[in-house]
Structure 1
């Protein structure tokens, strides 16, 4: 089993309103919601956003893992219970934060390329466990807002674990 070294990275997400609107599928957002966004964005970026480099110490293979912790999952669930509309807004905000962070580490993602999800081997699964995360067979971790992708960029659909079922996949014939 490959052993992966876990190195914390410093995430620096940029809030881009146009990128957020694209993710949210919205054309406008109420001013009050935007004010709430600033508070949550700053708090989540400082306290809840995690980023790590996972490097194979025995050969090739390096990944970036980015996620928002359980507190954010719980906060958004609470907002959702109070107002499904606001819940969707904050759900999109969390996705924007994680993807903006991913774009900072993997610049190719800024040009519209996907962040391919590799099928994690035993070494990656051990690193997840060390970080308190669990891999689910459907291709996700036990955090709602997370990205695991090769670092640096090594390709899109052709290296993605989800390419067979992804609606955006270009790897299917």
Structure 2
């Protein structure tokens, strides 16, 4: 489902105004956080079912001796740890001049041509590692509970603080 981020933000701002007018003053951040929690509650059972179906498919492919297909499904399952992949997938404003796109297949690309691999180190806590293809950088990062901020540091001592790109 591809949604227009400007339209979504407009709806959220409108909801924020309605909530304020209704005497239940809430900040935009709290409305967004409530929305994120509601979305997680709805998506979690669907993602669990999807993971179970992928596991069944992996077993069937393995039993049939289809190694290449089995490896592809296994790789997808690995990066779906507890359905958390959907939280991290997307575009991230990395500094003022780069956008990093984190993909569900364990790779990421950068608007300026670099890229690399990422993997969960503790999905339940939102902790993951990004290994860049060039420069020798390894970032140890954590995604915020609302899914809009990534913080951490890299092996060269630089702090990382990025926001989801809209």
Superposition TM-score tier, normalisation by shorter sequence: under 0.3
Higher relative contact order (CA 8 A, sep 6+): 1
Structure of higher CA gyration radius? 2
Q: TM-score, normalised by structure 2?
A: 0.28
Q: In proportion to residue count, which structure has more strand? A: 2
What TM-score comes out, normalization by structure 1 length? 0.27
